[in-house]
Amino acid sequence: MRGYGKIITINDTVVNSYDTTAISCTLSSQLKRDDISQMGTIKRVDQNLITITEGIKTYMLDKIGELPNSIKYNLVKAEDPNYNFEVFWNMMNENYPFFKERKMDWLSIQEKYQGKRIKNKNQLHHILKNTIRQLNDGHTTLIIPKKNGAFPHYRTSNKTAVLEDKILERYVKNPIRYGTSIKGNGLLNYGITENNIGYIQINNMLFFSDKYKNPEGLSGYDYLFD
């Protein structure tokens, strides 16, 4: 994918997405082949180029012969906290554009921890969370899966929808719901609290358009790709 450290493989049954850096190639998410439309509108430009359009964004993907050799190294080093730190550092180094604006010397972060041996996952988690906190960037967060093989982006979406519903019901007894978010719950919900305060819950910053005549009949992905 041009401009992004991402590789997508497509076969008859599975669509895999990999995050890559100079030292790694890591499986990040997986879809059934029948659900490929969730990625967006895919078009073949020629034998070596496809585009994926997601809302107003269009990504360009060039065909490659095979996955990088680093994917094999990933399997061997997956449990090594020091290697995981290096993958994290490289991922941010290659993709995060605002170190200067955040007044953060990213190279110093590598120098600070590279010489030390990170002993276990708990220590690694502490280092990563502390590093992200130093950015002081509300749009950047760290999600650590509870166990290996879990893909947070796809597998926690239902749990997030349940949590959003519980928060809404905590404050509003009979909320009014409008539309469908990408996670399957209400897009925009609102009501009055017991203290007579208006409460509005917005579960996506997308999908607001007057062109949808029957919003209740659409899923989140229908909003995104229609």
DSSP the chain: -TTSSEEEEE-SSEEEEEEE-SS-EEEEEEEEGGGGGGG-EEEEEETTEEEEEETTEEEEEE--SS--THHHHHHHHTT-HHHHHHHHHHHHHHH---TTTTT--HHHHHHHHHSS---SHHHHHHHHHHHHHHH--TT------SSTT--HHHHSHHHHHHHHHHHHHHH-SS-EEES--TTSS-SEEEEE-TTS-EEEEE--SS---TT-S-GGG--HHHHHH-
Residue type, 74: N
Domain ranges of the chain: 6-70, 79-148, 156-225
**pLDDT score for 56:** 79
**pLDDT score for 91:** 94
Residue type, 190: Y
**pLDDT score for 155:** 38
Residue ranges of the chain with per-residue pLDDT less than 50: 148-156, 225-226
**pLDDT score for 160:** 74
CA separation for the pair 204, 187 (Å, rounded): 6
**pLDDT score for 152:** 37
**pLDDT score for 180:** 75
Q: The pTM is what? A: 0.67
**pLDDT score for 114:** 79
CA separation for the pair 45, 115 (Å, rounded): 47
CATH code at 79-148? 3.30.750
